[in-house]
């Protein structure tokens, strides 16, 4: 059975999939015939554009969900709706927020919000999705962590804490569900992808600021920015993260569980 056949008609929830990495993941899975639950806090126009994009990519069906990931009850309600729609065979926890400040200056409410979205939100989707995956014998959880789940940076205490926590949570879940399913059904796996510098709206202000320092040369600005961390001096594209998720969703990956896959141009190798 090909990947296309195996995934066709299955259902994926990708949190934070209106734009950036999440949308690229949604489009990559849609191209394999997966039904897509698009999620985000978005205007009707942005939500409609995301739905149109995944349908154009090949999704046989797509629906939009707007649960606030800071609210466990809202997450539970969303997961119940997705169960009624057929249940999530693939869960990609991508929703995330970040704000930089020193530990001394980090507002309490910022700490709470970042941990709630980046870590607790993933826990509340996983606790609902994984038992159903085990019943079916196939399921994939791919949590979009970060290089900051593997190494730290200054002025990012809640973000780093949330991503380290997400990797730990994923490893626990991988162990708890490693026995579920079989090679034939595809098994149930839980993994993390840890992107480094990736071309999303989140990093555009940093790129533009560095490019301005380099006389307006964007390529030089990116290289200078990445030279501090990413030895390849190249950013990743969101669709490259999407391709990695599709590979992990393939039944051939039934024995790949509990990993944290860096896509970081050598950042965490140093």
- Give the residue from 32, 6, 35, 2 showing the smallest Cα distance to 185: 6
H or E stretch covering 160: helix 157-177
Q: Are 125 and 168 in contact (CB under 8 A)?
A: no
Q: Are 54 and 92 in contact (CB under 8 A)?
A: no
Candidates 65, 159, 177, 197; catalytic one: 159
Cα 162 to Cα 147: distance, rounded to the nearest angstrom: 12
H or E stretch covering 223: helix 218-226
Q: What angle do the packed helices 72-84 and 121-136 form, to 10 degrees?
A: 30
The CB density around residue 250, as the number of other CB atoms within 10 Å, is 16
Q: Is 159 a catalytic residue?
A: yes
Task: Give catalytic residues, as residue numbers.
Answer: 159
């Amino acid at each position: 059975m090909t990947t296309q056949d195996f995934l066709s008609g299955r259902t994926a929830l990708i949190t934070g999939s209106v734009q950036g990495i999440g949308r690229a993941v949604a489009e990559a899975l849609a191209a394999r015939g997966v039904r897509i639950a698009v999620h985000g806090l978005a205007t009707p126009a942005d939500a409609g554009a995301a739905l149109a994009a995944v349908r154009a990519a090949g999704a046989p069906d797509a629906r939009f969900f707007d649960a606030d990931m800071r609210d466990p009850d809202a997450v539970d309600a969303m997961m119940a709706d997705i169960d009624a729609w057929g249940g999530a065979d693939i869960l990609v926890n991508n929703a995330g927020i970040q704000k930089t400040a020193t530990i001394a200056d980090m507002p309490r409410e910022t700490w709470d919000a970042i941990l709630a979205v980046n870590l607790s939100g993933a826990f509340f989707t996983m606790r609902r999705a994984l038992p159903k995956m085990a019943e079916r014998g196939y399921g994939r959880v791919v949590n979009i962590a970060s290089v900051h789940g593997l190494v730290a940076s200054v002025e990012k205490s809640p973000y780093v804490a949330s991503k380290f926590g997400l990797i730990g949570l994923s490893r626990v879940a991988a162990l708890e569900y490693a026995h579920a399913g079989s090679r034939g059904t595809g098994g149930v796996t839980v993994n993390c992808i840890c992107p480094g510098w990736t071309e999303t709206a989140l990093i555009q202000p940093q790129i533009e600021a560095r490019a301005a320092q380099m006389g307006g040369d964007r390529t030089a600005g990116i290289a200078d920015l990445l030279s501090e961390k990413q030895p390849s001096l190249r950013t990743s594209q969101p669709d490259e993260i999407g391709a990695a998720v599709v590979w992990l969703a393939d039944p051939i990956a039934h024995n790949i569980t509990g990993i944290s896959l860096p896509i970081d141009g050598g950042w965490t190798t140093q």
